[in-house]
Amino acid sequence: MTRRIRILPDHVANQIAAGEVVERPASAVKELVENSLDALADRIVIDIQSGGKALVRVADDGHGMVRDDALLAIDRHATSKIKDDKDLWRIKTLGFRGEALPSISAVSRFELETAPAGGDEGTRIKIEAGRVVAVDEIARRPGTTVTVRSLFFNVPARAKFLRSAAAEARAVSEAIIRLALANLSTAFRLRSGDRELFDLPRTGDLAARVSGIWDEAFASTLIPIDYGSDGLRVAGLIQRPADTRPGTRRVYLFVNGRPIVDRFIVRAAEEGYRTTVPYGYRPALFLYIEVPVEEVDVNVHPTKAEVRFRDKIKAEATVTEAIRSGLEGLASAPSLGRFDATSQLVPRGPSPGGPRPQPARSPAAGQMALFVPGDAGPEAPAGEAEPLTATPITRPGAMWQLHNSYILAETRSGLIIVDQHSAHERVLFEQIMRDYDEGSAASQRLLFSMTIRLSPTEAQAVEELHGILKQVGFELEAFGNNAVIIHAVPNPHPHFDAERCFREMITELAHGSPLVDSARNRHERVAKSFACKAAVKAGQPLSELEMAELFDQLFAAELPGHDVHGRPTILRLSLDELERRFGRT
């Protein structure tokens, strides 16, 4: 009987490996630059022609290799990164499989020049389609230069799947951007033909690196986060909700310095933005996750683009909480001009991850106390911490209402403008969600019950949401023929129109809207709708005491800078910007 199983020739096996590791020129660039980074290069220069199809050259000033190591490096599974199987569970380098150089050289005209520090002579190795054609001694500075010409020249079936030179150049640029964002202490220069795409100096500032890659205007839309919990740390830059846009966005994830792709981590980050951005809007994210090396497996993808967390749920929850903590302060609110983050109006309390401070008023007082004259809340006894409050006013009377819609308040470093409807909407939403958790809601019994007729669809929605509406504060009963009788209603402020609010809520809940359709459950749908319909309206005059009460409630909220639609509640105007506009600087 004829044998069916055979060992593949080396050149075929290398081409198969190349198909896994080298999908396109950008893959080769990524592997070569990772080798340069593992060699502790301070500067890496990348040149490409025709999008990398004709030429890829990566030159670094890393520690280089002696002749014997250079010859060994072009063999499959030759690596300096691991010694035994135990090292696979504590990988700290970008490369470790020892497949990059042999895989690339198997499908190109390949040249390696390298020299170690210390004055030893350099080595040049030339390979064509996986076959070594020359090994020479050369004089060169320490470091390594790899030149790859005619990629896939001997695999035309793969070459025909490459895209245009411009598209391949964009892919190379994206690969370098990811590595440049992960390695701020290394300088990167990328040239395509005669055109320089970017030249990034070494830096210790992520915002400066982002600004160098794109521009300062984009970098100014980002705010820093740094959050730790139970051995995990999430740091980086996230976009202010007011600057998010629908459609494509920039998302870069790193785990222990390794660029990765993980849609679940992205989804967890977006969960942190819930109720702060409009439906369909997506924030830019630059997230750096640090986790003990034994808690993550990086050896799960041929191109090392994915990792596996030992505790995936914990990692995702930490990312969500990190985003939430970054959006809590006023840094996440939009501003006109530069604003000094150290002197912003921020609640005083413990650091992210600790117990959240509560408003000076008890939860039971809640919205029943909002705008109620004559009760400014208890004073803190001498020697105790000051209650959580906005405290924006630097002198008595430095708060004004503009067009009966916006509240202006002086701060130590400028001015903040609050949209009174959006602000109260955020306060109401968070109060309702707390009431759900605590099983209590304030309501006011009506002297005369209201009878409201509904459409069949609306009547069905009321029946389905009866229990949740009661938790909000609406006590009602069916009255037959698509009608309900309301016996008690919430009382969020003295200007509240209960009948109008109920009708608008039920119409929205029955027929849908982006606001309620984006909610994750029925409780959140009702809370969003009620907060929107019940909040004090634009155009409503407020007394000074009512304005102060709204400020206290807003800045005691978890996410004071954004309403449930994702619109900003606060706009900051810095003193520096005012002085610049008036020509004082």
Q: Determine the pLDDT at residue 120.
A: 76
Q: Which residue has the higher pLDDT, 115 or 348?
A: 115
In the chain, the percentage of residues whose pLDDT exceeds 90 is 58
In the chain, the percentage of residues whose pLDDT exceeds 70 is 81
Q: Determine the pLDDT at residue 449.
A: 92
Q: Determine the pLDDT at residue 294.
A: 85
- pLDDT category at 334 given cuts 50, 70, 90 is confident
Q: What is the mean pLDDT of the chain?
A: 83
- State which of 44-53, 306-315, 550-559 shows the largest mean pLDDT: 44-53
> How confident is the model over 541-559, as a mean pLDDT?
91
Sign for the pseudo-dihedral over CA of 32, 33, 38, 42: positive
**pLDDT above 60: residue 339:** no
Q: How many CA atoms lie within 13 A of 20 on its CB side?
A: 15
Within the chain, all domains assigned CATH 3.30.230.10 are found at 220-327
Q: Which residue has the higher pLDDT, 507 or 95?
A: 507
What does each C-alpha distance from 398 to 415, 419, 547, 552 come to in angstroms? 10, 17, 11, 15
**pLDDT above 80: residue 102:** yes
pLDDT in tens, 359-409: 333 333 333 333 333 333 333 333 333 333 344 444 445 789 999 999 999
pLDDT in tens, 310-322: 999 999 999 999 9
Closest to 106 measured CA to CA, from 135, 128, 124: 128
**pLDDT above 90: residue 226:** yes
- State which of 216-230, 333-347, 370-384, 389-403 shows the largest mean pLDDT: 216-230
CA gap 72, 79 in Å, rounded: 9
> How confident is the model over 106-115, as a mean pLDDT?
95
CA gap 79, 87 in Å, rounded: 12
**pLDDT above 70: residue 80:** no
Q: Determine the pLDDT at residue 441.
A: 75
Q: Which residue has the higher pLDDT, 48 or 441?
A: 48
- In this structure, of 50-59, 158-167, 366-375, 405-414, the range with the lowest mean pLDDT score is 366-375
Q: Give the ranges where 94-154 is alpha helix by DSSP (H).
A: 100-105
Which CATH superfamily hosts domain 10-199?
Answer: Histidine kinase-like ATPase, C-terminal domain (3.30.565.10)
b/e sequence 317-345, b meaning 16+ C-beta within 10 Å: bbbbbbbbbbbbbbbbbbbeeebeeeebb
Q: Which residues contact 526 (CB under 8 A, 6 or more apart)?
A: 432, 465, 468, 469, 472, 505, 509
Q: Determine the pLDDT at residue 227.
A: 95
Six-digit token pair at 435? 């009431």
> How confident is the model over 346-352, as a mean pLDDT?
31
Q: Determine the pLDDT at residue 374.
A: 34
Which position has the token pair 């701020």? 184
**pLDDT above 60: residue 119:** yes
- pLDDT category at 520 given cuts 50, 70, 90 is confident
Q: Please tell me whether residue 519 adopts helix, strand or coil conformation.
A: coil
CATH of domain 220-327: 3.30.230.10
- In this structure, of 2-6, 195-199, 411-415, the range with the lowest mean pLDDT score is 2-6
Kindly give the interhelix angle for 206-213 and 165-182, rounded to the nearest 10 degrees: 170
Closest to 265 measured CA to CA, from 302, 299, 313: 313
The domain defined by 366-375+388-571 folds into: Ribosomal Protein S8; Chain: A, domain 1 (3.30.1370)
Kindly give the interhelix angle for 165-182 and 25-38, rounded to the nearest 10 degrees: 20
- Which pTM was predicted? 0.78
User: CB 373: neighbour CB atoms within 10 A?
Assistant: 10
DSSP characters for 537-561?
PTT----HHHHHHHHHHHTTSSSTT
Provide φ and ψ at 529, rounded to 5°: -65, -45
Q: Determine the pLDDT at residue 330.
A: 79
Within the chain, all domains assigned CATH 3.30.1370.100 are found at 366-375+388-571
